[in-house]
């Protein structure tokens, strides 16, 4: 199929709901995959007075890579450190008083993200299969966990501020 058809197919399958793939990025991805030998040009197509479009098909190498990515995606645990944690551990003394407000604002933003996710997912559920519904729900679970963490962290904020201002002596780790 051509890039525009692939883009429409991605929209129809609601790919944007459970991936960070921008539907508009399809054209660049097709060119990159073709340059890597995972897709190949299989012809050209012209409909009406529209411009001629290149058609692409997946290669054997592409099928192999896709199968490997599917298996890897199911088996690998993907966990990245959140830059928030580094910033929290490196709060400067002048901004310590703002920590509870910052945490409250962050908590509000994550709650809003959860509500938006629930709204969008509820509208999409009737159009997607069960596996895709669970993929959508995964985002909700992750946001719910972040809300629980931030709620607990906000409860601990005064202790964190006090500890950062006047840290008790810490034991040294044995070497």
Query: Domain coordinates of the chain in residue numbers?
Result: 3-75, 83-165
User: Are residues 84 and 106 in contact, defined by beta-carbon separation less than 8 angstroms?
Assistant: yes
What's residue 172's pLDDT? Answer: 86
> Does residue 30 register a pLDDT over 90?
no
Averaged pLDDT for residues 127-144? 92
The conformation of residue 84, written as its DSSP 8-state character, comes to: H
Tell me: the pLDDT tens digits for 49-99?
888 888 999 999 999 999 999 999 889 988 888 999 999 998 888 889 999
> Does residue 103 register a pLDDT over 90?
yes
pTM (2 d.p.): 0.73
Average pLDDT value for the chain: 90
**∠ CA 22-28-34 to the nearest 5 degrees?**
130
What's residue 26's pLDDT? Answer: 80
- H helix runs in the chain, sequence order: 3-12, 26-35, 60-75, 83-89, 99-124, 130-165
The conformation of residue 113, written as its DSSP 8-state character, comes to: H
Smallest CA-to-CA distance from 97 within 5, 165, 49 is with 165
Smallest CA-to-CA distance from 117 within 142, 94, 95, 98 is with 142
Question: What does the alpha-carbon distance between residue 73 and residue 138 come to, in Å, rounded to a whole number?
Answer: 14
Domain 3-75: which topology? Arc Repressor Mutant, subunit A (1.10.10)
């Amino acid at each position: 199929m051509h890039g525009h058809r692939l883009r429409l197919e991605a929209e129809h399958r609601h790919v944007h709901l459970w991936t960070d793939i921008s539907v508009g990025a399809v054209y660049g991805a097709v060119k990159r995959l073709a340059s890597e030998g995972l897709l190949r040009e299989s012809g050209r197509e012209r409909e009406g007075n529209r411009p001629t479009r290149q058609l692409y098909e997946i290669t054997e190498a592409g099928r192999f890579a896709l199968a490997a990515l599917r298996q890897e995606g199911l088996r690998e645990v993907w966990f990245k450190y959140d830059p928030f944690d580094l910033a929290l551990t490196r709060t400067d003394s002048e901004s310590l008083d703002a920590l509870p407000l910052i945490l409250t604002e962050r908590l509000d933003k994550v709650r809003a993200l959860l509500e938006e996710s629930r709204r969008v997912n509820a509208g999409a559920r009737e159009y997607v299969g069960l596996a895709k519904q669970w993929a959508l729900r995964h985002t909700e679970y992750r946001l719910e966990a972040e809300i629980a963490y931030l709620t607990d962290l906000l409860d601990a904020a005064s202790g964190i501020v006090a500890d950062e201002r006047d840290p008790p002596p810490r034991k040294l780790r044995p070497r």
